[in-house]
Chain A
Amino acid sequence: MYAYDDYDHALVNARVAEFRDQVNRRLSGELTEEEFRPLRLMNGVYLQLHAYMLRVAVPYGTLSADQLRKLAHIARKYDKGYGHFTTRQNIQFNWPKLVDVPDILDELADVEMHAIQTSGNCIRNVTTDQFAGAAADEVADPRPYAELIRQWSTFHPEFTFLPRKFKIAITGAGADRAAVKWHDIGLVLKKNDAGEIGFAVIVGGGMGRTPVIGKTIRDFLPEADLLSYLEAILRVYNEQGRRDNKYKARIKILVDALGAEEYARLTEEEWQAIRHHPVDVPAEEVARIHAFFKAPPLPVLSDDVPTVDAFAEKNFLFAAWLKNNVSAHKVPGHVNITISLKPHGGIPGDASHSQMDLVAALADRYSQGEVRVSHEQNLILPHVAKKDLPAIWADLDEAGLGTANAGLLTDVIACPGLDYCALANARSIPLAQSISARFDDIKRLMDIGPLKIKISGCINSCGHHHAGHIGILGVDRKGEESYQLLLGGSGAEDASKAAILGPGFDEAGIVDAVEKVVAVYLGEREDGEEFLSTYRRLGPDIFKEAVYGTH
């Protein structure tokens, strides 16, 4: 993992001291809310429905055990005993008092964490594959590049007041687990014919009220040119992006207006003008950053572990967890574990302080002190020896963290929705709970197979409904919560936009509709065909007929 140097420490500590002063001035009345609001947002402090909310950055979804323990401590001491992991691999605390926030930030700084640039029209936390550096299907570890981008973009004076917020995602694997095509910039690590590392560069993706899948503007960008090329993309956007209408201010609107080819040309022109300026960092600094992400020295072990097989034979729930929540590691005899934060009937993404402490302890013991946060709101233990799986599962299961549903229908993404969020029009969490309670049967879920349900409580799409195999969007219909059903989206390498199936439903109706959609799939699927493929093969009509009975 990356470790702060003196410069990082000084920068974060200075920011905490500055914000402490700003909070004091706000509380004393020296600053009005109008003056203070942009300052608190730059430090991740929102005002939500019930309280302030603090969004803490988890850089590219990577946490140390000590950092996770600190988050548990903050949940216990300053909040109501829990935190909420988000679709941007961050964590949000729902109940901090403004007066406590400087102390919270001080405590975070002790473990090299902060809330800088988790809000505002700047470059936000870079997201990536939750299995980065550990996945069997990886070309290269995206985290060193994400860290480079973090350092380049932190307090970047030119990009502090962009037309709108800006999100970058990187994947280093063939399977896109970071939804890169749905980001303002998506980067896909690849090798060229000479075996050199570089990136495919995708721009102009985004969700919100205008969902757009990003377009590739460069097939292969050498890794050494990454920062100068990103700077060129951002410069074009910063200069030409709309500032007259916040709903048309994201880069996706500009790329659409200009066309991807023209955007690529303008970027190239800008890049040629700046690329020889000292934007890209020297090779020795790149090497220094890469060294922090060196793969842990894992022994090569056998993938056949009879004790694990024997335990699985006796215990169906463990066997199911082994199949669904455990994935291949690049080192034989090792695996990556997805810890589901989606207990059936529970709140997606929430973890109690004691659960966070447990995961930190397991990380220390079994996963090289590392934990990851996925954009699907789960936690990951990477680098685990396969032989340790039964013991880990038993501890997780006892703490309510052993649900064997990763990647299945009840592994629902849901935004906080109207239960917490000041922007929401409808609740999201209760729908996720109703759906997971309705499908509370692991055998049935495994029969249904991979199926991603994503729920947003408003058009801002924090719950990624546009990218759901089944997407649900909550709207306010004359003061009542109403839910639209969308089908056919994907956030993976085969990214697609979900389409609205028909009129909306109330809460009970939408759960019934999901069940009808699943029934059509089960009746129509071909051998081994997953939900999304069946939908793409059949189109929406048969699903529409089942849900609305139009004939």
Chain B
Amino acid sequence: MAKKISGPQMVIANRLDDGRVVFLTSSGDWSARAADAAVADDDVSVDALRSVASASEAANRVLSVEVIEADVHNGVPHPAHMKFAMQAKGPSVRADLGYQVSPDWER
């Protein structure tokens, strides 16, 4: 059983073929932008996101799926915890790399 949620949630994972960080969108697809992530505010909608993500994992599109807490500002979600925020942004010490430069990097 899923644990009881507190606050808005989003789903993060890594793409299987290249390992890049992606977020589950409301259309059930995956985006490299955290801002595109679907946000769930209650147990039912979190379970719905989780089941879409699990199906995608089972279909070998992504791995390391996690439901994480989201901060939502002006309707734009971002991972709340520093570890996941780091995944959304890329390494803080290489501002020339990662998603700061191009969310669709090398795709």
A residues engaging B (CB < 8 A)? 26-29, 33, 47-52, 80, 95, 97-99, 347, 418-420, 424, 427, 429-430, 433, 476, 479-481
> Chain A residue with minimal CB distance to B59?
A29
Give A46's nearest chain B residue, CB to CB. Answer: B19
**Chain B residues with CB below 8 A from A49, complex form:** 21, 83, 86-87
Contact A47 B64 (CB under 8 A): yes
Given A27-B17, A98-B17, A479-B82, 9 other A-B residues pairs in contact with their CB atoms under 8 A: A28-B60, A29-B60, A47-B19, A99-B17, A418-B86, A419-B86, A427-B92, A476-B82, A481-B82
Min CB–CB distance B89 → chain A (angstroms): 9
Instruction: Chain B residues near A424: list those with CB within 8 A.
Output: 83
Q: Let me know if A97 and B19 touch, CB within 8 A.
A: yes
**Are A47 and B93 in contact, CB atoms less than 8 angstroms apart?**
no
Distance A95 CA – B98 CA, assembled complex (angstroms): 10
B60 touches A479 (CB 8 A): no
When distances are taken between beta carbons in the complex, the residues of chain B under 8 Å from A52 are 18-19
Output the nearest chain B residue to A94 by Cβ-Cβ distance.
B91
Query: B54 to nearest A CB, angstroms?
Result: 12
Q: Point out the residues of chain A lying under 8 angstroms from B50, CB to CB.
A: none
Please name all residues of chain A whose beta carbon is closer than 8 Å to the beta carbon of B82 when the two chains form the complex. Answer: 418, 476, 479-481
> In the assembly, what is the distance between CA of A523 and CA of B87, in Å?
44
Closest chain-B Cβ to A162's Cβ sits at a distance in Å of 26
Contact of A347 among B14, B16, B93 (CB under 8 A): B93
Given that A33-B63, A419-B92, A430-B92 are known contacts, is A51 also in contact with B19, CB under 8 Å in the complex?
Answer: yes
Residues of A within 8 A of B18 (CB): 51-52, 97-99
Inter-chain CA distance A424–B82, complex, in Å, is 11
A101 to B51, CA, bound (A): 30
Q: Per-residue 0/1 for B58-78: is the Cβ within 8 Å of any A Cβ (1 yes, 0 no)? A: 011001100000000000000
Beta-carbon contacts of B1-45 to A below 8 Å, as 1s and 0s?
000000000000010111111000000000000000000000000
* B103 at interface, CB cutoff 8 A: no
Task: List 9 contacting pairs A-B, 8 Å CB cutoff, sorted by A.
Answer: A29-B59, A50-B91, A51-B20, A97-B19, A98-B19, A347-B94, A420-B91, A427-B92, A429-B93
Using C-beta atoms within 8 Å of the partner chain, give the interface range for chain B.
Answer: 20 to 34
Question: B-side binding surface: helix, strand, loop or mixed?
Answer: loop
Which 8 residue pairs are nearest across A and B when measured between Cβ atoms? A97-B18, A419-B91, A52-B19, A51-B19, A29-B60, A429-B93, A33-B63, A49-B87
Q: Is B97 an interface residue (CB 8 A)?
A: yes
Chain A residues, Cβ within 8 Å of B20: 50-51
Check B63–A419 contact: CB distance below 8 A: no
Given the complex of chains A and B, what is the CA–CA distance between A188 and B5 in angstroms? 55
Q: Cβ of B87 and Cβ of A50 under 8 Å apart?
A: yes
Chain A residues with CB below 8 A from B60, complex form: 26-29
Taking the closest CB of chain B, its distance from the CB of A23, in whole angstroms, is 10
A98 in contact with B16 given A29-B59, A49-B83, A418-B83 (CB within 8 Å): yes
When C-beta atoms are compared, the residue in chain B nearest to A433 turns out to be: B93
Given A430-B93, A479-B82, A97 contacting B98 (CB threshold 8 A) = no
CB distance from B16 to the nearest CB of A (A): 7
Cα–Cα, bound, A95→B59 (Å): 23
Q: Which of A28, A50, A476, A479 has most B Cβ within 10 Å?
A: A50
Contacts of A480 in B (CB 8 A): 82
Known A33-B63, A50-B87, A419-B86; contact A27-B16, beta-carbon cutoff 8 A: yes
Complex CA gap A29/B60 in Å reads: 6
- A173–B34 alpha-carbon span in the complex (Å): 52
Alpha-carbon separation in the docked complex, A347 to B87 (Å) = 19
**How long is the Cα–Cα vector from A80 to B91 in the complex, in angstroms?**
13
Q: With a CB–CB cut-off of 8 A, which chain B residues contact A430?
A: 92-93
Roughly how many angstroms separate A116 CA and B17 CA in the complex, as a whole number? 21
User: Whose C-beta in chain A lies nearest to the C-beta of B57?
Assistant: A33
For residue B97, which residue of chain A has the nearest CB? Answer: A80
List of A residues within 8 angstroms of B87 by Cβ: 49-50
Complex CA distance for A476 and B83, rounded to whole angstroms: 10
CA distance A97 to B82 in the complex (A): 24
Q: Which residues of B contact A420 (CB under 8 A)?
A: 91
CB-CB < 8 A to B83: which residues of A? 49, 418, 424
CA distance A476 to B85 in the complex (A): 14
Say how far A502's CB is from chain B's closest CB, in angstroms: 24
The answer to whether B59 touches A47 (Cβ under 8 A) is no
Chain B: CB-nearest residue to A80: B97
Residues of B within 8 A of A98 (CB): 16-19
Interface residues of B in 86-107 (CB under 8 A from A): 86-87, 90-94, 97-98
For residue B90, which residues in chain A have a CB less than 8 angstroms away from its CB?
Answer: 50
What residues of A have a CB within 8 angstroms of the CB of B81 in the complex?
Answer: 479
A49 (CB) vs chain B CBs: closest residue: B87
